[in-house]
Structure 1
Amino acid sequence: MLISATFVKISRLVSEALHKMDGKYLEITGSHVTARVLQTCVKWCSQSERDAIFEALQPDLLILSRKKYAVFLVKKLIKLATKKQFEWFISTLHGCVAKLLRHTIGASVVDCAYQRATQPQKRRVLLELYSTELQLFTDLTAQKTHSLLETISNLGLQKSSVLQYMTTVIHPILEKGIVEYPIVHTALLEYFTIADKTSASDVIRQLIPLLTQGSSIIDGDEPSAPELQNKMKAKKKRLPEPLLVQIMNTREGLKIGISCLKHGSVKDRKKIIKSLKGHIMKLALSDYGCILLISILSIVDDTKLVTKVVIQELAKHLKQLIFDKNGRRPLLQLLHPLCSSYLPPADLACLNYRVPSLISKDEAPESTTEVITENRVDVATNKEQDGSEGMHSANDSKKDPLQRRKELLMKSELAEALIQTCVENVGELLRTNFGKDVLQEIAVGGKDSVLEGMTDRIHSLHNAIASDAARPKTEDTEHAFDNYHSSRVIRKLVLESPAFAAILWKEALEGKCETWADGHRYL
């Protein structure tokens, strides 16, 4: 009742405020304070009142999209618009998408609309960035996919003219540093599919400094060039993280990050890694950030730098990482690279993503197939049914992959810390869905015996697992042989590690076989 009464009171106050503002909406949007008041009213008012505001501002929405105070009101109206109103707004963007994306304020409005849009609406917005012909003849763009290569093929466009037009669209966006939006990432990825080596390299070279610094979005009118630089510097000082971390919330952003990592120079890679210092855990625990870390661990030859920036930070939070769905993946990559049991096909496809024109001749036949297939749907269908690793690997470095893994695990003492963490938490790890994977990989010594030389420490882990299995049944904790996860881990370890099988027999099974013979989870 209290909530209902409060809502009624708010609705009454909002209606009174809107009545007083009626006919003055456009004037109100020009003030910082009054614009916020109107924005709040739009949030809490009734649908009929919101429709009236939208209708009153409808002719000026594109102009307001470039104003430093009104832009927030426009985005609120877009998010709360009816389907009919939103379709009208998408239609008004026709011919203005590229121009707005070059505006440091207007770009956020385009991206806001793009993220709410349906797939056909997204296609209409993106096609404006591809070619002038597509802006003039919108009826020719009816197709099931917005893939640029298929659009060029289906409509018979000249690839060179599309490339030239997209270059004139993309470079001004990059020059202003407006690269944090998913619509820009999608456009860049499509540009890479048709770009020649020089064009693609130029874009990569422009992207890396932007991604390793803060956002360049400015809450203000379009400034002049000197004023822009001063405001960008002031803004960056307040930003807690580089743009590369911020864009790791979409698969497109991940691909942009991997593109810069793979096709950048050795100096560029160092710059990228150093920019991530202090943000490794945030990346490790996110859906796409963990894939970026996997890519770093897989291709960067400077293992000393990777150890200093990445491994050392991961080592401080091993228990949290091991039990986390995403956090365990960088660790599993070192223990068992590119295993499809831990990385779904879509993630494997991202790890194998390359810009077509920047692929070396030796990799061209294989990688070109990957890129073309992935543009249609997430690939990496090389996943094997038995859960083994994918057929492809990152070949963007000179160091032997096994040597790199050993340096990152052994020289950094990460392996020792991992084993100790597993020994201390063996019971909990055995019985959890995510924790058991790291435990199992360490217990068998990792792929290709990467933990060779740590036999004694691995045996201590075997003893800890066997000791847990040897405990009598209690009502408090499900026995290791009865638990769904632990019983399967123990079975795999018996099959893959004779040393563990011998310890398990001696500690937990010898003389007790009859007790477990009738169990439904028998070994």
Structure 2
Amino acid sequence: MRLSVHVGNASLNTMEEISSIAVVSPSILEGKKKKLKGTPKSIKKQKAPDVEVRETPEGDITRKKSKGNLFKNTNFPTDNTVTKSGKKKQTKSPDTVSVKNNKQKLKVTPEKRKSDTSYDGDDDGSTKSTPKRVKFTPGKHSTPQETPNDVTKSTQKSVKQKRTKKKANVSLKSDKTGDGSSTVSEPSGVNTWAEALERAQNQETDVSWEQAVAKARGKPDGVGEGEAEKVGAGKSNSRENVSEKGQKKVEFEKKSKKEFGSKVMKLAGKTLKTLTGKAAKEKENKNSNKRKRESDAAGKKEDDKTKKPKLEEMSKKDRKKVRKMQRTNFEVIQQTKKIWESLRRHDLKAEEKTKLCQELMNMVRGKVKELVFAHDTARVIQCLMKNGSQEQRTELFEELKDDLVELCKTKYSSFFVKKVLKYGTKAQKNAVFKAFHGNVRKIVRHTVAAAVLEYGYNEYATAAQRSALMEEFYGPSFALFKSPNVTTLEQILKEQPTRRDMILSNMKEAITPLVDKTVLSHTIVHRAFFEYFTYASNKARMDMIELLRENIVHMVHTRDGSRVAMYCIWYGTAKDRKVIIKSFKGHVVKLCKEEYGHMVMLALFDAVDDTKLMEKAVLQEMLKSLYEVCFDQYGLKVLLYLLSPRDQVYFHPDVIKVLELGDANPNSKKDAAVRRKELLSAVSSPLLQFIVDHTKELVMSNSRLLLILDILTHAEGDPTAAMEAICKIAAEPFVSGSLENFHIIEHPAGHMTLKKLIKNDAERMKQNEKVLFTDILLRTVSESSLKSWAACNRGCFILITILELNNEKMSAEVKKRLTSVKKSLGKMEFKGAQILQSKLNEA
């Protein structure tokens, strides 16, 4: 089967020719001055299309482009026929060059005739098209016949003249066909390839083009053989009438078009070779670049293996290891750490421990100063100081004795100094305190070194050594010249009264920078502040209070610190006291439970006139945790002080003496009795309710016995509910000698509670109180329960206490209930039964 496409008189017989003609011919026809509209800007970058050939049912050839997108946005003319209804119908030409890509199918049909479209040229070289109706007549080589409505021949001639004057602007568009494929047709108004030849040769007619179209088109759909023969006959007759001049003209035209076709094929071949050559070259360059990159990567890997890695390229763990390796004693450090791991075990035998200590000492000898400052090796030296022999400890100390102050200031080496204070000899400890001389004021400001000084001052310093350390706050002369016989500031002021102002001035200068430091919590600092407040004037105290008032809460945990806080409360103004109270927010319960902190609470109760502020800021927070405060040794004293302030039954005389130092303060204006009554009224109701809620726990506790008695005696309000709660416990069935559940009658604390509450009724009767505990007890306890009390010694003494109240009504009630047990009491041997029997026999 032979494949051919006719363009004019040129016949394209191969796939390369077909594909290349679509690429090259428009630019050639236009004289390479104007590119084809709708095609890519650079034809050289396009690949040659792949063409697929298939045979149609009529025996014609359809060529499809399988890859590429060369004919995108390109339209070639299609045949338009008019149906009987007057509508246009697109007919598919048998000879169709169809191009498809992945998404659309493009069909290239032969061009329309010149009579299909009328052109209206614009000034800029573009054309406007108006489609015309075309009517086909039967015949093998039938040509379209113009309808009466079509334009005249003169009009066509004028259109042709316009075309020869202006350049053609080829615009290719894609139209969708009914079957889903895209038909590429040349829009009306655009010159065909044959017309371009005509302009080039200045010819007006195009007979050869009509012949080529008719031959390519074949029989139109619906045209019979007879009609086709008629059409062919009509054509042959017309050809015979052509003049000799016309025949020469046709021959010249055929020859020219044939030459043109050969030129087109040559140029198309060259273009195709150029495109394929460039593609191959680009592919080769791409492969060579890839090989080059691979070789570079391989070379880089080899270089990385041989090249020394940079620190920033390493992981954190590797960098740490490299830094350790750069240390001078790296090998020694690694070996000592291994020995230390074995030496620190608790189950190590004494012989092995001695051997390891000696081995470790041999390794660190002469290098102790270098190792003691590092975080890991410092632990090795500490372990050797702890587990080594006395000779080894001395050897370590001798290497470091000249740098003790420096060691105190470093985070890890400071622990070695603490180990010297703990495990060293007396001479070594004295050497440490001697190293502090002249440096105390500097050391106390240093966070790390102050902790070492605090440790030595509290745990291992003697009274003379503590005094020597404190003397450095008194002035430079005391730091340089120590007085061995002087132990306190009071003694110094007695011996040298003229130096009082100088000493206090130096102390103020030394302790003022410590106010905002974390070292404010250390004991030695508290001692310095306490001595200053003790001997300073009122004005100097008030100035220091203003600086210290917001940080008082950090000092109340020591004896001297709590005294400083008490001085601030006593001699501070109302504003200072308010700031101090607010600084205690969130710490009230803790203060109540501290050995020295609870003294600050007692000073607040004695000195602060603003009882409303005390109630909101202090008492409410304390009452929220009343159980916790009540069952604490020091919290109980706080509650008792609210109920019975400075009562010697509950408080030691020394404590009362200390509290009395604040009575002469110049800032407390309210009468002490009024102040105490206002505070008592704020806590009375919660305390009475507390007895109701926790009766059994309170009555069975020895230390809480006094609290119950004090609450029922001094609390404002009706105590009936609290007394009834206690009596209900006493009314429970009693079995003498039962060890499972101690009854309140036999309980050591319980029976004492009842006795004291009954005795307290004597005082209540003197005060004409209507509510008496004994009266409620006799109403609550049944006769049988009261008789059962007489079966034990403690029960008998409770009954004797009721009879000794000298209340005739109550005594008569008890005697009446115990009449039946008089004889039984005579048979009992314990002392209480005998006394009870004698009381009952009395008239």
Q: Where on the TM-score scale, by shorter chain, does this alignment land: which range? A: 0.7 to 0.9
Distance change >3 Å, CA 469–CA 435, structure 1 → 2: same
Q: Which residue of structure 2 aligns with residue 384 of structure 1? A: none
- 1:34-433 equivalences under 5 Å are 34-115=377-458, 116-138=460-482, 140-143=483-486, 146-154=487-495, 158-174=499-515, 176=517, 178-211=519-552, 244-245=553-554, 247-354=555-662, 363=664, 397-405=668-676, 407-408=678-679, 410-411=681-682, 414-433=683-702
Mapped to 2, the partners of 1:4 and 1:504 lie a distance apart of 64
Q: SS of the counterpart of 2:686?
A: helix
AA at the equivalent of 1:416: S
Distance change >3 Å, CA 202–CA 16, structure 1 → 2: farther
Mapped to 2, the partners of 1:291 and 1:160 lie a distance apart of 30
Deviation, structure 1 residue 343:
2.7
Q: SS of the counterpart of 1:257?
A: helix
Deviation, structure 1 residue 190:
1.6
Distance change >3 Å, CA 274–CA 33, structure 1 → 2: farther
Deviation, structure 1 residue 518:
7.3
Mapped to 2, the partners of 1:500 and 1:439 lie a distance apart of 12
AA at the equivalent of 1:470: A
Q: Whose helix fraction is larger, Structure 1's or Structure 2's? A: 1
Asked if 1 retains the 8 angstrom alpha-carbon contact of 2:549 and 2:568, the reply is: yes
Distance change >3 Å, CA 198–CA 320, structure 1 → 2: closer
Q: SS of the counterpart of 1:88?
A: helix
Q: Which sits farther off after the overlay, 511-520 or 478-487?
A: 511-520
Mapped to 1, the partners of 2:352 and 2:611 lie a distance apart of 62
Deviation, structure 1 residue 440:
1.2
Deviation, structure 1 residue 59:
0.9
Deviation, structure 1 residue 198:
3.0
Match of 1:495 among 754, 759, 775: 759
Q: Which residue of structure 2 aligns with residue 21 of structure 1? A: 364
Q: Whose strand fraction is larger, Structure 1's or Structure 2's? A: 2
Asked if 2 retains the 8 angstrom alpha-carbon contact of 1:324 and 1:434, the reply is: no
Q: Which residue of structure 2 aligns with residue 223 of structure 1? A: none
Deviation, structure 1 residue 274:
2.2
Asked if 1 retains the 8 angstrom alpha-carbon contact of 2:691 and 2:698, the reply is: yes
Q: Which residue of structure 2 aligns with residue 475 of structure 1? A: 739
Deviation, structure 1 residue 7:
8.2
Distance change >3 Å, CA 87–CA 109, structure 1 → 2: same
Q: SS of the counterpart of 1:326?
A: helix
Q: Which sits farther off after the overlay, 170-179 or 276-285?
A: 170-179
Q: Which residue of structure 2 aligns with residue 382 of structure 1? A: none
- Residue segments in structure 1 that go unaligned for 5+ positions in a row: 212-243, 365-394
Mapped to 2, the partners of 1:275 and 1:351 lie a distance apart of 22
Q: Which sits farther off after the overlay, 299-308 or 51-60?
A: 299-308
Q: Which residue of structure 2 aligns with residue 390 of structure 1? A: none
Deviation, structure 1 residue 504:
2.6
Mapped to 2, the partners of 1:38 and 1:327 lie a distance apart of 45
Count of matched residue positions in the alignment of Structure 1 and Structure 2? 439
Mapped to 1, the partners of 2:691 and 2:634 lie a distance apart of 18
TM-score, normalised with respect to structure 1: 0.74
1:41-65 deviation line (CA, Å, top 9, x unaligned): 5445454433332222111101222
Q: SS of the counterpart of 1:282?
A: helix
Asked if 2 retains the 8 angstrom alpha-carbon contact of 1:255 and 1:353, the reply is: no
Q: Which residue of structure 2 aligns with residue 388 of structure 1? A: none
Mapped to 2, the partners of 1:7 and 1:465 lie a distance apart of 62
AA at the equivalent of 1:312: Q
Asked if 2 retains the 8 angstrom alpha-carbon contact of 1:134 and 1:141, the reply is: no
Q: Which sits farther off after the overlay, 44-53 or 179-188?
A: 44-53
1:293-331 deviation line (CA, Å, top 9, x unaligned): 232233333344433333233223222322221122222
Larger radius of gyration: 2
Asked if 2 retains the 8 angstrom alpha-carbon contact of 1:254 and 1:350, the reply is: no
Mapped to 2, the partners of 1:17 and 1:260 lie a distance apart of 54
Mapped to 2, the partners of 1:318 and 1:48 lie a distance apart of 57
Distance change >3 Å, CA 406–CA 477, structure 1 → 2: farther
Distance change >3 Å, CA 160–CA 298, structure 1 → 2: closer
Q: SS of the counterpart of 2:347?
A: helix
Q: Which sits farther off after the overlay, 499-508 or 282-291?
A: 499-508
Deviation, structure 1 residue 180:
1.6
Mapped to 1, the partners of 2:673 and 2:793 lie a distance apart of 41
Distance change >3 Å, CA 5–CA 158, structure 1 → 2: closer
Q: Which sits farther off after the overlay, 17-26 or 335-344?
A: 17-26
Deviation, structure 1 residue 86:
0.9
Asked if 1 retains the 8 angstrom alpha-carbon contact of 2:549 and 2:576, the reply is: yes
TM-score, normalised with respect to structure 2: 0.47
Distance change >3 Å, CA 193–CA 408, structure 1 → 2: closer
Distance change >3 Å, CA 259–CA 12, structure 1 → 2: farther
Mapped to 1, the partners of 2:535 and 2:503 lie a distance apart of 9
Mapped to 2, the partners of 1:194 and 1:5 lie a distance apart of 56
Mapped to 2, the partners of 1:408 and 1:148 lie a distance apart of 38
Match of 2:704 among 426, 432, 435: 435
1:90-128 deviation line (CA, Å, top 9, x unaligned): 223233323322434333332222112122222222233
Q: Which residue of structure 2 aligns with residue 507 of structure 1? A: 780
Q: Which residue of structure 2 aligns with residue 221 of structure 1? A: none
AA at the equivalent of 1:460: A
Distance change >3 Å, CA 311–CA 174, structure 1 → 2: closer
Mapped to 2, the partners of 1:252 and 1:399 lie a distance apart of 28
Tell me, yes or no, if structure 1 residue 519 matches structure 2 residue 826.
no
Identity of counterpart residues, as a percentage? 32
Deviation, structure 1 residue 353:
4.2
Q: Which residue of structure 2 aligns with residue 486 of structure 1? A: 750
Relative contact order (alpha carbons < 8 A, sep ≥ 6): 1 or 2 greater? 1
Distance change >3 Å, CA 308–CA 137, structure 1 → 2: same
- Residue segments in structure 2 that go unaligned for 5+ positions in a row: 1-344, 765-771, 802-843
**What RMSD over aligned residues (CA atoms) do the two structures have, in Å?**
3.3
Distance change >3 Å, CA 161–CA 316, structure 1 → 2: closer
Asked if 2 retains the 8 angstrom alpha-carbon contact of 1:71 and 1:109, the reply is: yes
Mapped to 1, the partners of 2:789 and 2:432 lie a distance apart of 71
Asked if 1 retains the 8 angstrom alpha-carbon contact of 2:404 and 2:435, the reply is: no
Q: Which residue of structure 2 aligns with residue 4 of structure 1? A: 347
Asked if 2 retains the 8 angstrom alpha-carbon contact of 1:258 and 1:353, the reply is: no
Distance change >3 Å, CA 205–CA 75, structure 1 → 2: farther
Q: SS of the counterpart of 2:540?
A: helix
Q: Which sits farther off after the overlay, 305-314 or 421-430?
A: 305-314
